[in-house]
Amino acid sequence: MNYTLHQLQVFLKVSQNESVTKAAEELHLTQPAVSIQLKNFQDQFEIPLTEVVGRKLYVTDFGKEIAVAAENILNEVYAINYKTLAYQGQLSGRLKISVVSTGKYIMPYFLAGFLKKHEGIELALDVTNKAQVIGSLERNEVDFSLVSVLPANLQIEQEELMQNKLYVVGNSDEKFPRKSYGIDLFETLPLIYREPGSGTRYVMERFIEENKLPVRKKMELTSNEAVKQAVMAGLGYSIMPLIGIRSDLKNGNLQIIPVKGFPITSTWRLIWMKHKNFSPVARSFLTYLKKEKSTIIAEKFSH
């Protein structure tokens, strides 16, 4: 046999997700690239690792055993690297964090100083949708998750980071000359929504329901970036987090429409499972975050 560590990593992700597409997303690879690596790995075994039934991929019993072995091998490889660094007196190990898509605009700033201070740490940062973020936390695949809406049915602990402010936004074609508009403006604005389960959509729908607004739902898109591009193209309006549109406001591609009651706010929180057994790296990062978060917010997000 002549399989590679990369093939083990690919097969492990495929087996965890039971999907080539989802594995490709989490590994930041193309779907064909994952399929090729999966085939090359399968070719080294006479017994099938996976099977497709009705267009759904399933991992065979043999494949599940190989997945467990693959995870053990990869963990041992990581351990070798970390033990070498630890022997040299460096804090070392993997820090695994899952982040909802909009959180990609803030999480790097809370990580940068810590990673510069500890060069022996390997970061695994997964930016994905809320359902996958919560799923990876529940399966104990990550140390922390960054969310703006807390999961309802998990026992977690949390560290508040900063406010998440959401505004009504549109492109720059139409003029809104008044200093303030009432919420009845929503009767005329075709709204673009995020997908169900999104934290942004949850906050948006909660505001609409609390105020009994008759809204015109225009379309539904699966990422903050897709919503932003649709709004800039003039396809409609949306309620969006300020953190993801600051540069677009500055260069005039988007405008904030001054509606009473806005901004509406949620809170960015770093969460972890209750009774989580932290690694030295995860414990050190949490200590760093509690100490430095106020300084980071003042330096990076106060403008």
Dump the DSSP string for 88-106.
TT---EEEEEEEEGGGGGT
- Percent of the residues in the chain that have a pLDDT greater than 90, as a whole number: 46
Whole-structure pTM over 0.75, yes or no?
no
Section 277-288 average pLDDT: 89
pLDDT higher than 80, residue 91: no
Here the tokens at position 79 are: 């351990």
163-266: CATH topology:
D-Maltodextrin-Binding Protein; domain 2 (3.40.190)
pLDDT (0 to 100) of residue 26: 83
Does the structure show a pLDDT above 80 at 1? Answer: no
Please state whether the peptide bond connecting residue 241 to the residue before it is cis, i.e. omega within 30 degrees of 0.
no
**Which pLDDT belongs to residue 90?**
63
Q: What is the pLDDT of residues 206-239, one digit of tens each?
A: 888 888 887 777 788 878 889 999 999 999 999 9
* pLDDT score recorded for residue 3: 85
Q: Give the pLDDT score at 83.
A: 66
Q: Which of 245, 250, 233 is nearest to 173 (CA)?
A: 233
Are 1-89 and 163-266 in the same CATH fold?
no
Q: Is 172 exposed, middle or buried (0-12, 13-18, 19+ CB in 10 A)?
A: middle
pLDDT number for residue 303: 63
Least confident of 40-54, 80-94, 136-150: 80-94
- What is the distance between the alpha carbons of residues 221 and 212, in angstroms, rounded to a whole number? 23
- Asked if the model's pLDDT at residue 63 lies above 70, the reply is yes
**What's the pLDDT score for residue 114?**
92
pLDDT tens sequence across 17-35: 889 988 888 888 899 999 9
The owner of tokens 């591009």 is 229
pLDDT over 70 (residue 164): yes
268-286 burial, b if ≥16 CB within 10 A, otherwise e? bbbbbbeebeeeebbebbb
Average pLDDT, the chain: 88
Rounded to an integer, what is the distance from CA 299 to the centroid of its chain? 23
Domain spans in the chain, listed from the N-terminal domain onward: 1-89, 163-266
Q: Is the pLDDT of residue 89 over 60?
A: no
What pLDDT is recorded for position 161? 93
- Domain 1-89 grouped into CATH 3.10.20.600: no
Q: Is the pLDDT of residue 280 over 80?
A: yes
Cα–Cα distances in angstroms (integers) from residue 129 to residues 101, 104, 163, in the given order = 6, 11, 20
109: CB partners within 8 A, 6+ apart: 296, 300, 301
pLDDT at 259: 92
Q: pLDDT tens digit string along 111-132?
A: 999 999 888 788 989 888 888 8
Residue 88 confidence class, pLDDT cut points 50, 70, 90: low
> Are 123 and 95 within 8 A, CB to CB?
yes
Residue 220, classified by CB atoms within 10 Å of its CB into exposed (0-12), middle (13-18) or buried (19+), is middle
Tell me, what's the pLDDT at 95? 92
Cα 100 from Cα 107, distance rounded (Å): 10
Structural contact between residues 52 and 46, judged by C-beta atoms closer than 8 angstroms: no
For residues 60-65, average pLDDT: 93
Report residue 74 as tokens. Answer: 């990869």
Token pair for 233:
């193209």
